[in-house]
Chain A
């Protein structure tokens, strides 16, 4: 089974620039998550999709971050404009997530390491 694919692997941008990350989940996984992981901390959920609908985006800084999941498969996370504090690893994960019960674990991608200078 192919894993969760993410690209790019690394990205360096200047503050105030924009950047986009791409995620292709495991085939058949209805639920897709974007996490932000700052060095030394655990992953923080930014947004969760169920198919192509947003389930939870309460921790997404909507003034600068946006995400979409067209056709319920691939997803893109965008930051515009970037700030220094956005430097982190952005992880995408997917799961089967059962109906009302958390029966399945996530599968994570390797992440995109973003450095804002």
Chain B
């Protein structure tokens, strides 16, 4: 099973760019990488998903190197409302099973 490793926590200030890196050394050929955001008392919310190179949407960018053993979620110009837990997931080949790690607690300060 592909396992992910992320920093437990990160601090940042409003307006800064935040990069959260996730390691997934055992990622399989058909696995996608997905990031979720979770606020207290809410379920995780899909942020972005990618397979290789770079993916960008209105919320974030996802950078995946050629070996795909890691990925970096980039949040441009964070605000206080970006304070949350961010999870990196790697889907098991076949697409029917994913495992959440402990996530990265991002705290954005004014």
Contact = CB atoms under 8 A, between A and B. Distances in A.
Interface string A71-115: 000000000000000000001010001101111011111110100
Interface residues of B, number: 24
Given A93-B43, A103-B32, A105-B34, A45 B96 contact: no
B97 A108 contact: no
Contacts of B99: 45
Contacts of B83: none
A48 B94 CA distance: 13
B81 interface: no
Contact of A42 (B43, B46, B49, B87): B87
B43 A56 contact: no
B95 A45 contact: no
Contacts, number: 67
Given A102-B31, A103-B32, A31 B43 contact: no
A50 B96 contact: yes
Interface of A: 4, 31, 35, 40-45, 48, 50, 55-56, 91, 93, 97-98, 100-103, 105-111, 113
Nearest first, the 10 A-B pairs at minimum CB distance are A108-B43, A105-B46, A42-B100, A102-B95, A102-B91, A43-B100, A102-B32, A91-B43, A101-B95, A42-B102
14 contacts: A42-B101, A42-B102, A43-B44, A48-B96, A48-B97, A50-B96, A100-B95, A102-B32, A102-B91, A102-B96, A107-B46, A108-B45, A109-B43, A111-B41
